[in-house]
Each structure stands twice: as C-alpha cells, then as structure tokens.
C-alpha cells in the first residue's frame, strides 16, 4: 500500500480494517522522520509563540486510542520544547459522582482552551461513546444521542475560535500485546500496567466497532478525525506534528501591532 488517507471522508462509513496500523508512508526507517520531526517541533514553538501573543485563536488536540496506544508518548515527543505556559494537558479518568450528576459534557467544557492556548485531551468526551457503550453503562438510546451532542458541542467551540484536531492512534492488537508485555518486563514501567487492560483486550472487536462509529458520525468539517498509523511510534509522532504545524500555519497568525511612538522610547536608568 503506497498511500493511506489520514482523514476519512466526511459522511462515509469508516472500516478500520482498511487502515494499516504499521503504515509508514514514504519513510522506510525513522532517521529521516526524526529529522523532520525536529524541524516540525522548532516550527511549532515559533507558531505557539505567535498564537499566545495574538490571542485570537485556540487549539484543541484530542487523543484517543486503545490502552498502550501511545497517547502519553505522543504528548511527550510531539510537544517537546513548547512553552508549558501556553499548553494545558487534561487526562480524563472515570467520572466522579459529582460529574455523573451532570450532563456528560459538563466536566469537559472547563478544560477547553482559552484564546492563545493549546489544550490537549488525553482521552476525552469520546469515552462516553466508547467505554460507556462497550460496557453498557447507559442504555443504547442515550449513547446513540451523544454523537449529535458531541458534534454540536464541537461546533460551538469552533464558532468561538477553537481549532479542533482529533487523532485516533491506530495500533494493531498484536502491537498492543507487545507494548503491554514491555510494561510487565520493565520494572520502571510496571506502574502503568493494569490488570483491567487484559479484560479490555477480550473486548477488542467491540471497541473497534465503537471506534468505527465514532470516526464515522463525529468526523466533521469543523472537527475532523485523523486516523494515525501508530504501530511505529516515530511515524505516529511525525504525522501528528505535520498536521499541527500545517494547521497552525493555515491560521495566518501575526504578532500584535506594538504601541505607537516606541521608536524614541528611552529606558530610564
């Protein structure tokens, strides 16, 4: 396979079997990819500074994946070197009793980015059409309605100046087993291993069906999904950094104009 789209076509059903998790495009090894990744990170730092100074736009990055899919690694490697003052990362865990007493988006909205900021969601509001669906935590008619609620919520954000990028990190079941075993074998990574992850593996097909519907029903012009081949971590990082840089550049941002009459200013002793 010489080509593989990153973005599924809007309105078209997504079948994940059509997307190869080990795909690496025109890159045969990681050396050239790492060189481009470093250039992307340097450019991202420049663009983030303008974003923060201009304060007209905001960027929301959503990461979804199966366990061991690489969400933490993506944040660590792609965002390496950006100014932490302008970035907020939120990891959404199981909802608290208070959160469950509100609508499912209530806990999400406070973590969306202000103008000038980048927010990264490590898991997100999409858990309410994924784990909630697979484990039958609410009736089907409730989680089915959430696709429309999510699209409307993201449209509100987009209309308010938030650019939304959503990345599904697509790994194979075989690759997930390899990564989970690596966590068991490495004493410094055992803390990341949860016995519950093994139970989720038995639900793999159910999760793939849930992800396919998520990618089908919530892939919009204002909040597109990207299906990122993620078996090779270096290619995953390159792809996501490419998309972020291209998106920030498309905003045509500029530094704010300085105050007038600064040429003759003298700083007092």
Where residue 234 falls among pLDDT bands split at 50, 70, 90?
Answer: very high
User: What is the rounded CA–CA span in Å between residue 16 and residue 221?
Assistant: 20
CB-CB contact of 134 with 206 (8 Å): yes
Tens-digit pLDDT profile for residues 11-31: 899 999 999 999 999 898 899
Average pLDDT over residues 122-132: 98
Q: How many residues does the chain have?
A: 269
Put simply, whether the predicted model's pTM sits higher than 0.85 gets the answer: yes
Identify the CA nearest to 57 among candidates 165, 158, 166, 162: 162
pLDDT at 160: 97
Average pLDDT over residues 141-156: 98
User: What is the rounded CA–CA span in Å between residue 168 and residue 225?
Assistant: 7
Average pLDDT over residues 220-231: 98
User: What is the rounded CA–CA span in Å between residue 194 and residue 180?
Assistant: 9
**First-residue to last-residue Cα distance in the chain:** 67
pLDDT at 93: 93
Identify the CA nearest to 51 among candidates 257, 251, 246, 223: 251
User: What is the rounded CA–CA span in Å between residue 212 and residue 13?
Assistant: 8
User: What is the rounded CA–CA span in Å between residue 55 and residue 47?
Assistant: 12
pLDDT at residue 2 greater than cutoff 80? no
Average pLDDT over residues 227-245: 98
Sequence spans of domains, the chain: 16-250
Tens-digit pLDDT profile for residues 174-184: 999 999 999 99
pLDDT at residue 193 greater than cutoff 50? yes
Characterize 39-53 residue by residue with b for buried, 16 or more Cβ atoms within 10 angstroms of its Cβ, and e for exposed: ebbebbeebbebbbe
The helix-helix angle for 204-217 and 140-159 (nearest 10°) equals 40
Tens-digit pLDDT profile for residues 42-99: 999 999 999 999 999 999 999 999 999 999 999 999 999 999 999 999 999 999 999 9
Residue indicated by tokens 């079941």: 173
pLDDT at residue 1 greater than cutoff 50? no
Average pLDDT over residues 126-134: 98
pLDDT at 59: 98
CATH 3.40.50.300 fits 16-250, yes or no: yes
């Amino acid at each position: 396979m010489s080509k593989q789209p990153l973005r599924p076509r809007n309105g078209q059903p997504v079948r994940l079997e059509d997307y190869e998790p080990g795909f690496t495009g025109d890159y045969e090894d990681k050396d050239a990819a790492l060189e481009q990744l470093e250039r992307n990170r340097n450019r991202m730092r420049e663009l983030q500074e303008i974003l923060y100074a201009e304060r007209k736009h905001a960027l929301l990055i959503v990461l979804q994946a199966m366990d061991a899919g690489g969400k933490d690694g993506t944040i660590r490697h792609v965002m390496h070197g950006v100014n932490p003052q302008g970035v907020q990362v939120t990891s959404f865990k199981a909802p608290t009793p208070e959160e469950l007493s509100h609508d499912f988006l209530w806990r999400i909205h406070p973590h969306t980015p202000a103008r000038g900021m980048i927010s990264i969601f490590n898991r997100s509001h999409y858990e309410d059409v994924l784990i909630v669906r697979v484990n039958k935590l609410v009736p089907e008619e409730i989680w089915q309605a959430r696709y429309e609620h999510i699209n409307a919520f993201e449209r509100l954000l987009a209309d308010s100046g938030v650019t939304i990028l959503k990345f599904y990190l697509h790994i194979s079941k075989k690759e997930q087993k390899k990564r989970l075993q690596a966590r068991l074998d490495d004493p410094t990574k055992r803390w990341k291993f949860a016995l519950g992850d093994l139970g989720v593996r038995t639900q793999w097909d159910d999760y793939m069906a849930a992800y396919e519907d998520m990618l089908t029903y919530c892939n919009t012009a204002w909040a597109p999904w990207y299906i990122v081949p993620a078996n090779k971590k270096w290619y995953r990082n390159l792809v996501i950094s490419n998309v972020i840089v291209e998106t920030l550049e498309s905003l045509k941002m500029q530094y704010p104009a300085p105050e007038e009459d600064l040429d003759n200013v003298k700083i007092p002793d």
